[in-house]
Structure 1
Amino acid sequence: MVRVVLMNPKFEGNVGFIARLMANFGYNDLALVDPVSIEDEARMYASQAEYILDNACIYNSFEEAVQNIDTKIATTGIPGVTDSNHIRMPYYTPKELKNQLDGYGGNIALIFGKEDHGLPNKIIKKCEIVTSIPTSDRYPVLNLSHAVAILLYELSDIQKTDISVPNQKEMKLIHNRINQILQLINHPKHKKQKTKLMMKRILGRANLTKREAYTLLGILKNTIKKIKQNKTK
């Protein structure tokens, strides 16, 4: 399942166009977070895809919109170029993203930001993967609906498998154990947030199966146990 999540969309026309695009490429799961009112203009631009608007879920927060999502993909027009901008690094082009997700069995959300500001860093940090559409340096700004069209086109023929993937609770447990290890080894405080984000991105790109996640959880649990034992000697 691929969910399209629009964060605070400002223009009805864009929402309508996006509903139409979703119908074009065979998607129907639209989530709107604190959107503009969806009225006549949106329905007009949706053309024959009003049913997507009718079935769209409206949420008050990002967390609510991605509650049952396994992999959250942030979209940005301002990708990081060096590790100093680690929040937006590393990033995939749409074609690379397609290759990354081909054969993935989990639920995916494509997160799009407000037309004039894009996604804020606080939302990008909560996502496992970042994607950016290459554009001309002379005019790099894409309309929201155009960006959605490019990504939906690229992902429209990805092959999904029935391989079971870890849910959010299991992934949260993995990250909690990693954080516990960082604490036990006295990882430098000024590096901790960056390291935690890097681990989120590494695990997001890994596309773990449920079995792999359980194996990793066991290794992390035993690592924590061993570190604690050594500390008491």
Structure 2
Amino acid sequence: MTRAGAWVFGRLDAGRAWRDLAAAEVNYSVSEVRRPQWNIDTHRHRLPGERPGPPEPGGAWDQACRLVRDYEFSPPEIVRALYDPAAPLLGRDMLLEARWHGMHFYCGVRVTEVVDETRDNGDRVWGWAYETLEGHLERGKVTYQVIKHPGTGQVEFVADSYSQGAPSLDRVTFLGWRLFGRRTQLRFYRRCGRRLRAFTEAALRGETVPSGPPTRVGHLVSAPSDTVVSRLDTLAIHRVGPGRRAGR
């Protein structure tokens, strides 16, 4: 088993794990995506509204876009991310930390699409998508979008996704995924919507969101910014690239 695939205790060299993502490729083909083998979902969450018309400067749509851009909506008890904030959004590599009951799985994703458009129906949309890289627990794509409907002023956060567990997981990780993966995945999207709504409401009240500087690993930042690093984290089981095939 490679060093990157070994079970280890204690601290992780997160900077090295992030740098290794540069050589990784997307771990699936779009031609493979079909039901029932894949979960194909749309998760919609209503955010604070605005007056009808285009997005208001500093309004709910603007604030939500800022929070989505910086991955502040992610619930830190489920998924955290490490990335280079100076890198362009498109093409950005992110090292995700998925947390399950004392086990931390480190998986790579890459931003492969940025959405910035006004659609034929007048909806103003901004967002981005990432796809899973080799070694990820899953295979698939998630697109996060903030949408304003100008006719009503309604603003919403939409996460479109398709995914399946990586077929190359070892037996222990595969069993954990079968027991907890889908349940945790759905809880993640529910928590994302609630956090983004709460943070958007706070920003509209004039509060600073997030409230403090993010944790840094060298030049990299950890998101979301309200992530709390506990000494107990050093006792968790850490696994880098759990979906990597043997010998890679």
Q: Could you tell me the TM-score, scaled by structure 2's length?
A: 0.23
In terms of fraction of residues, the more helix-rich structure is: 1
Give the TM-score of the pair, scaled to structure 1. Answer: 0.24
Structure with the larger RCO, 1 or 2 (CA within 8 Å, 6+ apart): 2
Greater fraction strand? 2
